[in-house]
Amino acid sequence: MDFLKRLTQGMGMGKSEPESCWRTPVVLDRGCLGDTGLALDRRGRGSAVWENGGRVWTMPIGPRSSPSLVRLPVGEGRAPRIELNLGGRGIALWQTDAAGERCIQGKILGDGEGQSHTVFRTEGQIRHLQAAVDRRGNALMVWLLELEGRIEVMAGAFDARGQAWNQEPMTLGIPTLADVAPRIAVNHREHAMVLWESSDDAFEGLVASHYWPSDRIWSDRPVPVVSHATRHHQVAMDGSGNALALWVHAPYGQRWALEASYYDALAAEWREPEVLSHAQSFSIPRLVMSETGEALAAWCQGEGHGPSRLFAKAFAKGAWESGLEAFELGHGPVRDFAIGLGPAGQAGLLAVHHGAEGDWVSARLRQREWSAPVPLSPASRQPCASPRLSLCPGGASAMWIQGQGAEQTLHLAETR
């Protein structure tokens, strides 16, 4: 219950005024912005990546680094992704289009950093590109390939010891659902799994493909996680290879359920699903898990025509803690949010929420207890979107987009 108590202390309406531990936000870029990402290492140093008008840019960031607004061009491309381990080694990924082909480009960050590499090329469509990095800098990548009516869950890898990319990505599964969305989870020991939705004559539900680091191979067939239709699933893993999966079950004509299942690495099996909440609708489920097995799930749920509310539930010592708590931000419905857990037990929330004066961007941080909500910028009549949050032992970095079309601005706020 200690984790839940710490959680509830900061999620209610605080009596004290918000403490300004955040620097004044700065504008990183302006224009027609696309996907964004940021990541920090244990020293509080990292990078932000973003797309602007068909080009990918990056910039050093971090609460422990000297403020700098020097943008560095990565090249032509879109849909950038970045992942760093605690030691600062990681990977940046983005997509390019040329001569009728679509390519995934990758660049190793940290030790051995070099030129970009073409990870994969195809005439089909690439969606849901993700990556994860272990403590040695080995990287696993997952994406969805759609080509000539066939959908495949694909996986690639980078071997840090040999400084080599795998020659041919492998197919983990061939789902039949057009809107399938694979999700990847990896721990610092390179245990990994990928979950996706399956629906065919043999099985309907959520399945998982597991990665065996000792042999550097994926399981030869996916295993069931839950045997009914799911949507919006998330997955996260601790340092021992245990994992949590979170998803929405929306049976026709019934109230929806937010469900979760725990993967016990020692028993090598998924437990029976648990229902965390019932509602008329759910949106934006998020799940994060620390190396020590502490986890936090957060989501929006709504009833009837009323505004949706943001809720959270804590997980510790192999079980979900009792009680369900609401984030009361005080400025109307939540548009989007990001949550995080740091390596030293700290937690964070970054939320975009709408009020009478416009869109607000607010942050909460937790070390021993949660802070009061801190508005990172004045209310904006222009819509705010794409909140991103990364934590390190010394603080946090937050990023979001404000505006529409070619008049968008990318904002960065960091703790002092």
Q: What's the CA gap between 28 and 59, in Å, rounded?
A: 8
| Total residues belonging to the chain | 416
What are residue 33's DSSP bridge partners? 52
Query: What integer pLDDT is reported at residue 394 of this predicted model?
Result: 84
Q: For the chain, how long is the longest CA-to-CA vector?
A: 60
Extract the runs of DSSP E, i.e. beta strands, from 42-138: 46-52, 55-61, 72-76, 78-84, 90-98, 101-109, 117-122, 125-133
- The stretches in the chain having pLDDT less than 70 are 1-20, 67, 112-113, 330-331
Q: What's the CA gap between 310 and 290, in Å, rounded?
A: 21
What are residue 198's DSSP bridge partners? 205
125 three-class SS: strand
Residues 76/42, Cβ–Cβ less than 8 Å: no
> Would you tell me how many other CB atoms lie within 10 Å of the CB of residue 268?
10
> Would you tell me how many other CB atoms lie within 10 Å of the CB of residue 23?
15
Residues 409/389, Cβ–Cβ less than 8 Å: no
Query: What integer pLDDT is reported at residue 95 of this predicted model?
Result: 98
pTM of the model: 0.90
- In DSSP notation, 35-47 reads EEEEEE-TTS-EE
Identify residue 309 by its one-letter amino acid code: R
Query: What integer pLDDT is reported at residue 112 of this predicted model?
Result: 58
What are residue 362's DSSP bridge partners? 351, 375
Residues 368/6, Cβ–Cβ less than 8 Å: yes
Task: For residue range 263-293, list pLDDT tens digits in order.
Answer: 999 999 999 999 999 999 999 999 999 999 9
Query: What integer pLDDT is reported at residue 11 of this predicted model?
Result: 37
- In DSSP notation, 276-339 reads EEEESEEEEEEEEE-TTS-EEEEEEEE-TTSPPEEEEEEEETTEEPS--EEE--SSS-EEEEEE
